[in-house]
Amino acid sequence: MSKHQGSLWLCISVLLCCLTLHAQGAALFAEADHSLGASLMVQNKCSACHISRVGGDGSAIYRPQGRIRTPAALTAMVERCSTELNLSLFPDEVNAIAAVLNRDHYKFK
């Protein structure tokens, strides 16, 4: 195989990999427990801190067109904020919260 062909294959496999990740996006939240996610957010007063930053009901902090553009990034941000609260959430709890935010704000497909 020539060097050129090699990089073509690399390119194709990266592309396929991205497509799979993309397809997993919505699937990431498919099994999530929305009512668990919603009550975790209330219990842990996620909005209290967000309100202190952006006012209103705090939901203006969620910017679907902003930095967070993938379900994985959303999940990572929920992780980061829950670490801020010193919560030790289980992965499925983080996922449940991210799923609720996705349903109400980010709407990733």
User: Where on the chain is the footprint of ligand HEC (CB under 6 A)?
Assistant: 41, 44, 46, 49-50, 53, 61-63, 66-68, 74, 77-78, 81-82, 84-85, 97, 101
Is there a contact between 89 and 32 (Cβ–Cβ < 8 Å)?
no
Nearest Cα to Cα of residue 89 among 32, 49, 27: 32
CB of 99 to ligand HEC, least distance (A): 11
CB of 15 to ligand HEC, least distance (A): 27
CB of 32 to ligand HEC, least distance (A): 13
Question: Of 22 and 63, which has the nearer Cβ to ligand HEC?
Answer: 63
Question: Of 3 and 53, which has the nearer Cβ to ligand HEC?
Answer: 53
Is there a contact between 73 and 81 (Cβ–Cβ < 8 Å)?
no
Question: Of 26 and 81, which has the nearer Cβ to ligand HEC?
Answer: 81
User: 54: which residues sit within 8 A by CB, 6+ positions away?
Assistant: 60, 61
Q: What's the token pair of residue 8?
A: 């073509």
Question: Of 3 and 80, which has the nearer Cβ to ligand HEC?
Answer: 80
The whole-angstrom distance between residue 109's C-alpha and the CA centroid of its chain comes to: 12
